[in-house]
């Protein structure tokens, strides 16, 4: 290799390996100048796609310190390729992005995380408060104690007391309520929900890591939702929780009618348990299991384009054979492509420019 080329390689590598590259340091300095943070501390977490740092912000007048967390997306990596599936089909990012341009891509991810956090935070769901955003650097509220220790991930939560089983059960119910609230109020499917992206403190679950979250009109949102439901169920079953069938949860989350606030959400879930108990003989339980398996593998169309032969399907409906359609249940529940109506997005100028024609709904 030529000398110049080798130097450039070296420089590139240094940039990608250095904890904070020059650009990122510039951004942090700017944020310090503008008062978004006062000091940046060590890494809370170093991940494949991003590092999270602790930080402190001092109140100008009182000097009181407030903890912050700063998520810095890595610009020099290729793992973002995999993330394209979350962006493709997002009307908020219709222009798509230049796959060759990592910097643009990570900026987009940080932006997505910021906007999604804002929606979730505004809906009153426990999550970090989004505070500032600049390119691939996101400042948010710190979820942790006064000493700077972050709350544990749900995976590492160490529940105490003689009613631990009961605590797991109610955390499960809490999370299902949050998932419905996120879907109905925020118009978001987390799309990477698991015990790794939930923090636990004092009986409360905090949702984090939402850069990949999508709106219900994303062509794969219901597939992502189904995965989220599966991950959540698998985890809580390992904790000994008596979980509900995936399909029942899916309907609970997506059906438009019904509560979106506590305590009504928890009450609705209690009802789901009662319904299930009423149907609890062994045969039906077995059928339910098969049902869950089928459900997990089922193709769920969400938009008109995904219905292969509209005329034929309409004819079927006319002949009263609608329940033969794979999406019959969805038709009945009117949960096909719930329209994202831009709720809670008043501050998102960029969101409002291209919503026409989105979210074609079979249900209306």
How far is 242 from 214, CA to CA, in rounded Å? 29
262 binds ligand ADP (CB under 6 A): no
Q: Which among ligand ADP, Mg ion, none contacts residue 150 (Cβ within 5 to 8 A by kind)? A: ligand ADP
71 bridge partner residues = 52, 138
Q: Which among ligand ADP, Mg ion, none contacts residue 69 (Cβ within 5 to 8 A by kind)? A: ligand ADP
- The H-assigned helical ranges of the chain are 3-17, 22-33, 84-87, 102-122, 164-184, 221-238, 246-254, 264-278, 282-297, 310-318, 328-333
130 bridge partner residues = 140
221 binds Mg ion (CB under 5 A): no
Q: How far is the CB of 209 from Mg ion (least distance, A)?
A: 4
| Residue (111 or 209) nearer to Mg ion, CB | 209
Where in 207-236 is the site for ligand ADP (CB under 6 A)? 208-209
**Which residue number is nearest to ligand ADP in terms of Cβ?**
47
Just list the catalytic residues. 192, 209
**13 Ramachandran zone, left/alpha/beta (phi>0; psi -120 to 50):** alpha
172 binds ligand ADP (CB under 6 A): no
If you ran DSSP here, which 8-state letter would residue 243 be given? Answer: P
176 binds ligand ADP (CB under 6 A): no
How far is 203 from 168, CA to CA, in rounded Å? 9
User: Which tokens is 123 given?
Assistant: 């809906």
Where in 23-52 is the site for ligand ADP (CB under 6 A)? 44-45, 47, 49-50, 52
3-state SS, residue 295: helix
- R_g over Cα of the chain: 23
Where in 108-147 is the site for ligand ADP (CB under 6 A)? 128, 140-144
Where in 189-218 is the site for Mg ion (CB under 5 A)? 197, 209
Q: Which among Mg ion, ligand ADP, none contacts residue 128 (Cβ within 5 to 8 A by kind)? A: ligand ADP
Closest by CA position to 112, among listed 81, 87, 94, 140: 87
**For residues 301 and 336, is the Cβ–Cβ distance under 8 A?**
yes
| Residue (45 or 270) nearer to ligand ADP, CB | 45
Q: How far is the CB of 262 from Mg ion (least distance, A)?
A: 25
**Which residue number is nearest to Mg ion in terms of Cβ?**
209
- Number of C-alpha atoms within 13 angstroms, CB side, residue 223? 11
Where in 288-327 is the site for Mg ion (CB under 5 A)? none
Q: How far is the CB of 82 from Mg ion (least distance, A)?
A: 14
How far is 276 from 294, CA to CA, in rounded Å? 18
Q: Which among Mg ion, ligand ADP, none contacts residue 57 (Cβ within 5 to 8 A by kind)? A: none
Residues forming contacts to Mg ion in the complex (CB under 5 A) are 197, 209
Residues forming contacts to ligand ADP in the complex (CB under 6 A) are 44-45, 47, 49-50, 52, 69, 71, 128, 140-144, 150, 153, 197, 208-209
């Amino acid at each position: 290799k030529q000398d110049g080329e080798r130097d450039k390689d070296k420089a590139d590598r240094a940039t990608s390996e250095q904890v904070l590259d020059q650009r990122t340091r510039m951004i942090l300095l700017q944020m310090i100048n503008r008062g978004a943070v006062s000091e940046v501390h060590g890494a809370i977490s170093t991940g494949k796609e991003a590092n999270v740092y602790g930080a402190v912000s001092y109140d100008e007048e009182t000097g009181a310190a407030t903890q912050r967390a700063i998520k810095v997306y890595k610009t020099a990596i290729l793992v973002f390729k995999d993330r394209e599936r979350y962006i493709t089909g997002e009307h908020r990012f219709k222009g798509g992005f230049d796959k060759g341009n990592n910097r643009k891509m990570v900026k987009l991810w940080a932006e997505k995380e910021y906007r999604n956090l804002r929606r979730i935070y505004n809906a009153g769901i426990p999550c970090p408060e989004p505070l500032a955003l600049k390119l691939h650097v996101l400042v948010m509220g710190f979820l942790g104690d006064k000493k700077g220790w972050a709350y544990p991930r749900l995976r590492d939560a160490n529940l105490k007391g003689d009613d631990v089983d009961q605590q797991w059960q109610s955390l499960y119910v809490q999370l299902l309520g949050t998932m419905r609230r996120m879907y109905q109020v925020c118009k978001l499917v987390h799309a990477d929900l698991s015990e790794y992206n939930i923090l636990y403190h004092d009986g409360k679950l905090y949702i984090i890591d939402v850069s990949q979250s999508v709106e219900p009109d994303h062509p794969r949102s219901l597939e992502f939702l189904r995965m989220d439901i599966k991950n959540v169920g698998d985890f809580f079953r390992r904790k000994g929780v008596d979980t509900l069938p995936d399909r029942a949860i899916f309907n609970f989350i997506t059906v438009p009618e019904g509560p979106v606030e506590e305590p009504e959400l928890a009450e609705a879930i209690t009802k789901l348990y009662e319904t299930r108990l009423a149907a609890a003989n062994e045969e039906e339980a077995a059928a339910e299991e098969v049902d869950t398996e089928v459900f997990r593998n089922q193709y769920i169309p969400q938009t008109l384009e995904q219905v292969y032969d509209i005329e034929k399907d309409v004819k079927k409906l006319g002949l009263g054979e609608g329940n033969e359609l794979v999406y019959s249940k969805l038709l009945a529940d009117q949960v096909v492509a719930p329209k994202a109506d831009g709720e809670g997005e008043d501050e998102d100028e960029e969101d409002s420019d291209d919503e026409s024609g989105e979210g074609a709904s079979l249900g209306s």
